């Protein structure tokens, strides 16, 4: 069951007749996606206050309402048109089948990374899909699990569980599990061994397919979020160098475009400014210094629109 614009339940399919003009964004109300999602929106420029008991919050500087719901309900709210956009896990989007492609993934958000993985008791000699033929698989992702084995021509018995999936083999409920793994520590503690990757997942921004082509608000939100993601992947690089080393240094810098070069008051010296990939900085700094760079600064980028 989803919510209507005034808080009353909305159980119909298609466009909610109680929709208002402002944009609604559905967010997880708890769990590992909640805090990173809130941080992302604030870095994108949205100003709002949120408490653990609030079900909805109005953004102060934009015509946006934030809805705080169960992560599992985000897809349903977007599909029914109660929410325009939502942040959820890719695994939940794929598990739902996105209601016949009525919901589209707009952006991968780079947090909440995990993998839906088939795991067996540590002493079980099962490593290939065919080893699971006829076995019981406990999971909270029954559709993805069944589809995975079907692609390999294997029929399994799906045991649907909402939580505590890892203990199913110990309790005799199932022979194996298909569950989300981030570090693998929970499976290790429960005596399980990951063997078959099913789906790589992370947090995603989703929207209702029928709404995406005719709402400027969608473009505003996605551009702001995308600019934060782009900024997180890059760093702003500044350094001073002798003018005669300019060519050697610019050849080292893999920036978005040619670096900006500014003459300094000191004769024969220039300042070089560029945007570089964050992962390149580690190896780039010693090479820049060896080429003659000095006073090197590496600064974070809040938002970047290429």
CA R_g for the chain: 25
What letter does residue 259 receive in the DSSP assignment? P
Non-local CB neighbours of 100 within 8 Å, separated by 6+ positions: none
The pLDDT score that the predictor gives to residue 225 is: 96
Q: What's the pLDDT at 291?
A: 93
Whole-structure pTM value: 0.83
Q: Is 11's pLDDT higher than 70?
A: no
Asked if 4 and 10 touch (Cβ cutoff 8 Å), the reply is: yes
Instruction: Give the span between the Cα atoms of 175 and 109, in whole angstroms.
Output: 34
Helix (H) or strand (E) holding 67: strand 64-69
Least-confidence region, from 54-63, 71-80, 98-107, 134-143: 98-107
Q: How far apart are CA 247 and CA 4, in angstroms?
A: 61
User: Quick count: other Cβ atoms within 10 Å of Cβ 66?
Assistant: 22
Confidence of residue 213 (pLDDT cuts 50, 70, 90): low
Question: Which DSSP letter does residue 303 get?
Answer: -
pLDDT, one tens digit per residue, over 232-291 is: 999 999 999 999 999 999 889 876 678 899 999 999 999 999 999 999 999 999 999 999
Contact 197, 117 (CB under 8 A): yes
CB neighbours (10 Å) of residue 204? 24
In this prediction, residue 6 carries a pLDDT of 36
Q: Do 191 and 104 form a contact (C-beta atoms < 8 A)?
A: no
Rounded Cα gap, residues 174 and 169, in angstroms: 5
Confidence band for 195, pLDDT divided at 50, 70 and 90: very high
Give the pLDDT confidence of 89-147 residue by residue, as tens digits: 999 999 988 555 688 899 999 999 999 999 999 998 899 999 999 999 999 999 999 99
Who contacts 148 (Cβ-Cβ below 8 Å, separation ≥6)?
A: 118, 129, 178, 196, 198, 199
Q: What is the mean pLDDT of the chain?
A: 87
CB atoms within 10 A of CB 43: 17
Question: 94 Cβ partners below 8 Å, 6+ apart?
Answer: 144, 199, 201
């Amino acid at each position: 069951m989803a919510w209507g614009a005034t808080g009353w339940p909305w159980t119909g399919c298609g466009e909610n007749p109680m929709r208002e003009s402002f944009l609604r964004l559905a967010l997880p109300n708890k769990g590992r996606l909640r805090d990173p999602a809130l941080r992302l929106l604030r870095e994108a420029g949205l100003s709002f206050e949120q408490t653990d008991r609030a079900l909805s919050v109005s953004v102060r500087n934009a015509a946006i309402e934030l809805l705080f719901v169960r992560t599992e309900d985000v897809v349903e709210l977007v599909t029914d048109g109660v929410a325009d956009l939502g942040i959820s896990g890719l695994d939940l989007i794929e598990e739902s089948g996105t209601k016949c492609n009525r919901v589209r993934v707009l952006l991968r958000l780079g947090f909440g990374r995990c993998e839906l993985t088939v795991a067996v008791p540590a002493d079980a000699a099962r490593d290939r899909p065919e080893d699971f033929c006829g076995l019981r698989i406990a999971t909270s992702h029954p559709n993805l699990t069944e589809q995975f084995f079907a692609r390999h021509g294997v029929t399994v018995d799906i045991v649907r569980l909402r939580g505590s999936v890892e203990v199913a083999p110990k309790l005799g409920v199932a022979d194996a599990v298909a569950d989300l793994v981030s570090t693998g520590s929970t499976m290790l503690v429960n005596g399980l061994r990951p063997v078959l990757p099913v789906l790589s997942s992370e947090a995603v921004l989703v929207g209702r397919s029928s709404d995406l082509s005719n709402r400027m608000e969608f473009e505003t939100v996605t551009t702001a979020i995308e600019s934060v993601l782009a900024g997180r992947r890059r760093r702003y690089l500044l350094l001073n160098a002798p003018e005669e080393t300019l060519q050697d240094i610019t050849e080292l810098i893999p920036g978005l475009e040619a670096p900006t070069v500014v003459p300094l008051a000191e004769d024969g010296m220039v300042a070089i400014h560029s945007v570089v990939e964050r992962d390149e900085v580690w190896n780039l700094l010693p090479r820049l210094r060896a080429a003659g760079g000095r006073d090197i600064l590496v600064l974070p980028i809040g938002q970047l629109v290429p």
